[in-house]
Amino acid sequence: MHFPLNAEQSKNCQAEIPESGAGVRAYIRDLLSGVVSGSDDRLSFTEVVDHHSSLQSDWNREVEADLGELGVDTSTPFRLLYDPAGAALVVGDHPDKEMINAYFTANPGRVRELGETLQFGSLASTAQSKLTPADMDQPLHTEAMAWWYTANMDAHTLFSGGGVVFGAGGTAYRALDIRV
């Protein structure tokens, strides 16, 4: 796949991306500055998700209208490959692939908007990530099993050949705490 940016342009665009923690924080702060927050001047995850949905639907609607005016068949779906250095290309087969690629080459603002929408998508997916109570208990269960095994048998027997069979050749249990 060939991106329309030459190597020097790509290198310059990549140099603008923050690398340090402070740079990333400033980048995210700038990104979130456009989100309308509630009356308490605080930003919630719901507002980030709503803003992402709004950005995505607005961008899709506007780009579809622009491409429709150019004569692109917008009823046929296409996938875009986004390069953070400043390019977007159609992936796969589409009858108007060259025209769509030319549109994004001629409209770098749309490519920047796509990048911003994708960044908000990452923030929205992070905001929607939730741990269930079972997920939160998992490390506790694993730790409890590890303590039980170490209290009831020598650790070297866990790594010896033949596997572990309880009750074979003697009593392996010193204590068992069962809750019902």
Same domain, 49 and 95: yes
Residue 96, domain member (yes or no)? yes
The region that residue 124 occupies, defined by phi over 0 for left and psi between -120 and 50 for alpha, beta otherwise, is alpha
Same domain, 146 and 103: no
Query: What per-residue confidence (pLDDT) applies to 157?
Result: 61
Same domain, 81 and 137: no
Please give the helix or strand (H or E) that residue 170 lies within, else none. none
On whether the CB atoms of residues 19 and 84 are closer than 8 A, the answer is no
The region that residue 36 occupies, defined by phi over 0 for left and psi between -120 and 50 for alpha, beta otherwise, is beta
**What pLDDT digit, counting tens, does each position of 100-115 carry?**
999 999 999 999 999 8
Same domain, 59 and 116: yes
**What pLDDT digit, counting tens, does each position of 62-110 carry?**
999 999 999 999 999 999 998 888 889 999 899 999 999 999 999 999 9
